Amino acid sequence: MIIRFFLATLFVLLASIPVNAGDTDYLALLAEDSEIKAIAEVVSIKVVSNNSDGTFKQVTFKKLYGVTPFIPQEFVGGCKTMEARWQRRLPDTVYFNPRRGQKVYVTVTTNEGAITSYTLLTRQLEAALKQNPRSVAYSKGRANVLPQDQ
């Protein structure tokens, strides 16, 4: 009897999560919790698959500056891109556009995991990451420097 009550309560709670989720940016939450946060250079890009909802690629990065500890000199992240006219964007899917040689700030769940944010490097972003990484916020697959309190 107690187990049934517990399972029924658990089911109701879990079922209500998507309803309450609304516009929450889950990719931003994943970026915040990513093991790899680094300023890096795109070394190579490998196409893994082409589907109607985009092209899945594996991107190899060379670490230039690690924001989080224990980042390998080279690491890999996966992402979706749009490559062909016949592909159609899915709502709520973030597509990235990596190019060989780009210097970026990237977050990856774990080595060989999903890219959770990908932002071209600017002087302002680089300075914020090196001086105060907590001043960087994530939204829809991008990193932004928060305005300073005055």
> What are the pLDDT digits (tens) for 15-72?
433 333 334 589 999 999 999 999 999 999 999 999 999 999 999 999 999 999 999 9
Among the listed ranges 15-29, 67-81, 102-116, which one has the minimum average pLDDT value?
15-29
pLDDT at 23: 47
3-state secondary structure of 99: coil
Q: 43 — alpha (psi -120 to 50), left (phi > 0) or beta? A: alpha
3-state secondary structure of 117: strand
pTM: 0.82
DSSP string, 41-89: EEEEEEEEEEETTEEEEEEEEEEEEESSSS--SEEEEEEEE--STT--P
Query: Which two structure tokens, joined as six digits, stand for 51?
Result: 């589907």
Evaluate the CA torsion angle 120, 144, 150, 128 in order and state its sign: negative
Closest C-alpha to 42, from 130, 108, 92, 93: 108
